[in-house]
């Protein structure tokens, strides 16, 4: 079964900036963590690709850090 995941941003009070995590999530999880969906980032993926916290990693293996938006 497929689900729709999105990139999103969350406000980080410690750094007083918006953070864009490298992982995508479903809209329900983004709402739960008070995030804001970034338009145009929707992607259909198989539910089996989500981790135990409902996150999807679209990156090729090797990783990157979260981007900071000011």
Q: Between 17 and 70, where is the model more confident?
A: 17
CA distances from 17 to 13, 48, 50, 52, 61 (A): 7, 32, 27, 27, 27
Residue 22, pLDDT score: 94
Q: Between 64 and 16, where is the model more confident?
A: 16
pLDDT higher than threshold 80 for residue 53: yes
Q: How confident is the model at residue 59 (pLDDT cuts 50, 70, 90)?
A: confident
pLDDT in tens, 21-51: 999 999 999 999 999 999 999 999 999 999 9
Residue 61, pLDDT score: 65
């Amino acid at each position: 079964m497929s689900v729709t995941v999105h990139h999103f941003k969350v406000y980080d009070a410690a750094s007083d900036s918006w953070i864009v995590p490298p992982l995508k999530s479903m809209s329900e999880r983004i709402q739960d963590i008070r995030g804001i969906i970034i338009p145009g980032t929707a992607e259909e993926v198989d539910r089996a690709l989500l981790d135990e916290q409902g996150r999807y990693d679209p990156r090729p293996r090797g990783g990157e850090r979260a981007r900071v938006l000011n």
